[in-house]
Chains A and B, each alone.
Chain A
């Protein structure tokens, strides 16, 4: 049952940066936040997206959700192309694709009770539902994410970060989505709580057949939850592969550097991080050739002029001019 649930083809997101304008009438600079990302995720699978801050991974999922406008490319959900310019289609998309956010406390309206927060998607997406049915559903969702029902009348600030994230998950689930976009859902949480939320997401995925797109900067967590991992740098795709293959046999110089720097909770293992010299180019002014060229330890002369295409080798994709070895 490996049917494609969500796919993205050559997606790009551009922002205009007004603060770069010299005069009120001059042309604003363009920030190229996401540059031609393509991937497909099968039903019930998890795609992890990793990269360092500013690599456009959050913008990418926000574009899929329609929170920012993609400037180029197509998104298919369940085989159907989403037209983001039509409100109706975007609303239909959001019944299938929901999102959980990075800051668990800030993602809940501080003036609403937990019940109202979780009931809101029910009101929006299932207007025919009566009050009683809605209450039952809210209780079921609270049970599902492990928040005691008697807390339904309380406000978000009375909960810890981990509990707020559970409430955020319950809200996302209320819409009965097929795809859950997770934008750094555990990076604001403590280690012990982080594991609770990761496990909850995995349980929910197994029970409901959810497809997850899981964005994080912590490779350990992404490795743990994902079937496939996509590595981004400066808005571009560097490498994508099944999680095991990517960690065991990274073929892109950037992925290698990233993996070499991940700290290991074992004092007997010494890591030797690969030092990346050079500066991160500004997304206002991207290099012509490979996005990673300025810091790449294995740079070739042609890297400065040629932007490498994504090359496929089985389920392993990489964008690099070097021969995979």
Chain B
């Protein structure tokens, strides 16, 4: 069952120097219980898509297209309706845990506040729910630590609290925007394992936004690759890693050093990230692509049909 459907989403930002086109006609679905990775580098528009889903785009943003959730278009939803959906139906985990926690409130109060606002739970009922999620995110000695302030926790523990916050109302969909980028490797691995356990237990769908292919490989069952605000490729994670079918995905994989395979040379993708001040008229990756043809500078390739979707005019066999 499709849980969320993003259709033809475009996001652009008004700036004094004209429009910046961050997302260009992106469409994808998230199924129930799916773990979708949205992979992209800076400027790929991956975070903006998450913000658009939650109606949290900056004031100078203009979004078009549709984001369908339970038959409603989230982009048209009035603010009051949107507030009901946030946290309760769809929640988000940000990269920096400190930015989502109020430093002047104890963890318990912050968690209670959400429960009261969205579910009307107070007192004992709220407390047992809070303890339940604190245990779910494996915070040791949760009962006593609830009275602590965010700064009294370590970075990894703070991110666990943010995850607990996101889980509190048992949302159907969790958007995780680079949840482990600010953390150390050992903590990162723990948090990813935690997310995996929670997903199994709660059955929520997770949209993991990341730039780290290693994290994707270990966690997600579906992968969506973005470049220049456009979908380059989408398929099952195993399929994408076994046989990447888009030149950009291929380039990305060759550029990541694998610690267990030191013989491989790092192949970088030449050139610089795309200029987004002009509307897209051709494949955004064409200028950096080793396989580009003349036609690549004329056509904006559409995504091929499922299961292995790709947006490239060249056949897979022709790619280097």
Given A220-B258, A220-B259, A270-B218, A261–B188 Cβ distance below 8 Å? yes
Least Cβ distance of A149 to chain B in Å?
17
Q: Which among B185, B262, B267, B270 is the interface contact of A258 at CB below 8 angstroms? A: B185
* Docked-complex contact A199 and B268, CB < 8 angstroms: yes
Given A220-B259, A263-B214, A192–B241 Cβ distance below 8 Å? no
CB contact list, B244-272 vs A, under 8 A: 251-260, 262, 266-270, 272
A: residues with CB less than 8 A from B are: 52-53, 160-163, 190-196, 198-199, 217, 219-221, 223-224, 243-244, 247, 257-271, 273-276, 279-280
* Docked-complex contact A192 and B268, CB < 8 angstroms: yes
- A244 to B261 alpha-carbon distance, docked (Å): 10
Pull 26 A–B residue pairs with CB atoms less than 8 Å apart, ordered by A: A161-B42, A190-B273, A192-B251, A192-B268, A193-B41, A193-B272, A194-B255, A195-B267, A195-B268, A195-B269, A199-B266, A217-B185, A262-B259, A263-B189, A264-B218, A265-B217, A265-B258, A266-B258, A267-B218, A267-B238, A269-B260, A271-B189, A271-B218, A273-B193, A276-B186, A280-B154
Of the four ranges (under 10, 10 to 19, 20 to 34, 35 or more), the interface on chain B belongs to: 35 or more
- A263 to B253 alpha-carbon distance, docked (Å): 14
User: Besides A196-B268, A269-B260, 17 other CB < 8 A contacts?
Assistant: A193-B268, A217-B184, A217-B185, A220-B214, A220-B258, A221-B257, A247-B260, A260-B189, A261-B185, A265-B216, A265-B241, A265-B256, A265-B258, A267-B217, A267-B218, A267-B241, A279-B154
Interfacial chain A residues near B256, Cβ < 8 Å: 191, 195, 220, 265
- A273 to B189 alpha-carbon distance, docked (Å): 6
* Docked-complex contact A52 and B184, CB < 8 angstroms: yes
- A232 to B256 alpha-carbon distance, docked (Å): 23
B: residues with CB less than 8 A from A are: 41-42, 154, 184-186, 188-190, 192-193, 211-218, 237-238, 241, 251-260, 262, 266-270, 272-273
* Docked-complex contact A261 and B257, CB < 8 angstroms: no
- A53 to B251 alpha-carbon distance, docked (Å): 29
- A171 to B152 alpha-carbon distance, docked (Å): 42
Interfacial chain B residues near A195, Cβ < 8 Å: 254-257, 266-269
Interfacial chain A residues near B266, Cβ < 8 Å: 195, 198-199, 224
Interfacial chain A residues near B267, Cβ < 8 Å: 195
Least Cβ distance of A315 to chain B in Å?
17
Closest 3 CB pairs of A and B: A263-B214, A273-B189, A195-B268
- A77 to B222 alpha-carbon distance, docked (Å): 51
Least Cβ distance of A267 to chain B in Å?
4
- A259 to B214 alpha-carbon distance, docked (Å): 13
Q: Which among B192, B211, B269, B272 is the interface contact of A163 at CB below 8 angstroms? A: B272
* Docked-complex contact B269 and A192, CB < 8 angstroms: yes
* Docked-complex contact A192 and B186, CB < 8 angstroms: no
* Docked-complex contact A275 and B259, CB < 8 angstroms: no
Interfacial chain B residues near A274, Cβ < 8 Å: 186
Given A220-B258, A221-B257, A279-B154, A264–B268 Cβ distance below 8 Å? no
* Docked-complex contact A263 and B186, CB < 8 angstroms: no
